[in-house]
Amino acid sequence: MNRIARETVSPRPRVPSREGLADTPFEPRLRALSTAEDWMDWSGCLSPRALGAVETEYFAIRNQATLFDVSPMHKYRVTGPDAERVVNRLVTRDVARLAPGRVAYVLWCDEDGMVIDDGTLFRLGPQDFRLCCQERQFAWLHDIAWGFDVAIADETGDVAGLALQGPTSHAVLEAAGLALPDLRPFGIAEPEPGLVISRTGFSGDLGYELWLRPEGALALWDRLWVAGADLGLRAIGFAALDIARIEAGFIMAGAEFQPIHRALRPSRGRTPFELGLGHLVDPGKPHFNGRRALLREAARTPRRQLVMLDIEGTKDASGALVYHRGRREAGHATSAVWAPTAKRNIAFAELDARAARSAGLRAEIYTLKEGRWERTMASATVIDRGVFRPPRARATPPGRF
């Protein structure tokens, strides 16, 4: 008889910081490096928006190596005889094709085909998975797993995470005695007991993520910090990483889409096809949540489309309304930035699907200059996502610089 082992692993007790948010295992090192004192709430944890100058931190991602604390991410472990079946029922991709020791970008939907969240799925063994995501999913995972022989554990407080990103990131690992020259993108390795390293990240550059128990977090930080002293290693906050991820063409929950479980209005939900992620939906695999709705959606033209725009000029188009042929409102920018490395003014934008396939788009940009708002109608063109795709991000073995 099938059963479900409802194993609830309570996160480690979190000591509130002086800001009233929980400290992560790396907080002492981040606090000591902070000159900006610019902190933010990330899933109830204290996280730096910036430790110093955002521009300096961004250019460190693209020219050196950086450390970013990803411990606040929600992390769930799914194990047991039916683990693959449960995870395959959850996500829209076919997990059976994901080999042990590999990572995949995944998303999952409700019964109406609306995206609940996206994240990375680590296959640690034949029936052993870890799901990392932005939104709390513990209750939803149990709903999906009802009747299956699996154990589900919330590992959020029991696994510390550190993103090491940038062109010298592997050189830092090498100097720290953790060289992984044969690790391919989206691969997983365990160079030492208790330390898992994946070649993943949110920067679009060469990079790694390191996962370990919280009690070893500060020792790992110090080890990398010493190893990276001559390689430009710098700690960064979210603001710099946000620039990098837009430049790389990576979407983010809460910006490019509203997770449907958090939305107050069903109309705020978005399907994978509307987000331009229809290639992540595998209709040929066994049943998964939202399959019927997504099959119907695949057979028709989406109502709206998430695209990337190349916008005239250098003025940041954050929050801009987008018009078709200068008259009809066609959508709005969800995230925007002047891409410093690519030297292009870009934005993610949610547009009416017909407008997304047409020319004649203009972005209405307002800029505050000396107490006065100036309005610009800048021409915009739909382009492929991601204006920064360096070969070094995929090179195996990676270059030293």
> Which parts are annotated binding residues for substrate?
209
Which helix (DSSP H) or strand (DSSP E) does residue 123 occupy? strand 115-125
Question: What are the φ/ψ torsions at residue 247 (nearest 5 degrees)?
Answer: -60, -35
Residue list, annotated binding site:
209
Rounded to an integer, what distance in angstroms lies between the CA atom of residue 334 and that of residue 347?
A: 7
- C-alpha separations of 301 from 108, 288, 309 in Å: 21, 22, 20
Q: Give the β-pairing of 151-154 and 128-133.
A: unpaired
Rounded to an integer, what distance in angstroms lies between the CA atom of residue 311 and that of residue 325?
A: 15
| HSE, side-chain direction, 13 A CA sphere, residue 364 | 13
Listed residue (256, 262, 260, 374) closest to 309, CA to CA: 256
| HSE, side-chain direction, 13 A CA sphere, residue 308 | 20
Rounded to an integer, what distance in angstroms lies between the CA atom of residue 209 and that of residue 224?
A: 13
The token duo for 66 is: 């950086």
386 touches 204 (CB < 8 A): yes
